[in-house]
């Protein structure tokens, strides 16, 4: 990561708090922005708010309210991307476009949050043209809400996401190789 940072990359994502903390400590001398890109569980909100500058996976009003409350308690104001699910996929979380519309004014009123965009993931089995359509729909929804950021596209579908207007790509596996499987159940 240090080599990539020294080449000018200053934004890094992690999906597990426990894996991020030692890396953050090791790279503290660099001016990096840390993104939490994993599934955000309510019991992990405080450590995520304390350790990350951007949270890509707020997927409900209740979770947004918790992030807001803890951010205020910790004196932080994380940038937040709301996770949306624009196609049926039982393995993914997120708000539908209708659900987001119904709570949008409540989300905007939360202190302690800077809602800057949307995040979505394509189902693994989806064809490339369907992924691009999904990502285009996410970009269009973000534009309707006047949100600048779209976190969409991973190591396997980043091209379709970039073509559809992604502003954040989650391509750690492509850059750094596959994640090492931890035997620690807490991770």
- Mean of the per-residue pLDDT values for the chain? 90
Query: What is the domain class of 2-175 according to CATH?
Result: alpha beta
From first CA to last CA, the distance across the chain in angstroms is 20
Token digits for 179?
Answer: 């994640």
If pLDDT is split at 50, 70 and 90, which confidence band does 7 have? confident
Q: What is the crossing angle of helices 61-74 and 97-108, to 10°? A: 30
Looking at residue 184, its pLDDT comes to 47
Q: What are phi and psi of 38, to 5 degrees?
A: -90, 180
Query: 32: pLDDT confidence band, cut at 50, 70 and 90?
Result: very high
Of the candidates 10, 52, 55, 50, the one whose C-alpha atom is nearest the C-alpha of residue 30 is 10
pLDDT at 181: 57
Q: Is the pLDDT of residue 65 over 70?
A: yes
Residue 11, classed as helix, strand or coil, is strand
Q: Kindly report the CA angle at 56 between 152 and 107, in degrees rounded to 5?
A: 115
3-state percent breakdown (helix, strand, coil) of the chain, nearest 5: 45, 20, 40
The residue ranges of every structural domain in the chain are: 2-175
Does the pTM of the predicted model rise above 0.85? yes
With 70 as the cut, is the pLDDT of residue 173 above it?
no
Quote the strand ranges of 39-184, DSSP E: 54-58, 79-83, 114-119, 149-154, 168-170
158 token code pair: 């980043």
């Amino acid at each position: 990561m240090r080599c990539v940072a020294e080449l000018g990359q200053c934004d890094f994502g992690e999906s597990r708090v426990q894996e991020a903390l030692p890396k953050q400590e090791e790279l503290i001398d660099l001016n990096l922005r840390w993104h939490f890109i994993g599934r955000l569980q309510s019991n992990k909100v405080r450590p995520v708010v304390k350790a990350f500058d951007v949270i890509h996976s707020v997927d409900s009003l209740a979770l947004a309210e918790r992030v807001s409350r803890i951010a205020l308690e910790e004196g932080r104001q994380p940038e937040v991307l709301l996770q949306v699910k624009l196609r049926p996929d039982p393995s993914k979380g997120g708000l539908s476009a209708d659900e987001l519309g119904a709570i949008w004014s409540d989300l905007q009123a939360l202190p302690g949050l800077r809602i800057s965009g949307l995040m979505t993931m394509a189902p693994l089995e989806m064809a490339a043209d369907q992924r691009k359509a999904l990502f285009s729909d996410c970009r269009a929804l973000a534009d309707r809400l006047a949100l600048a950021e779209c976190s969409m596209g991973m190591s396997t579908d980043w091209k379709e996401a970039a073509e559809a207007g992604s502003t954040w790509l989650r391509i750690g596996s492509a850059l750094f190789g596959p994640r090492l499987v931890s035997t620690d159940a807490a991770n």
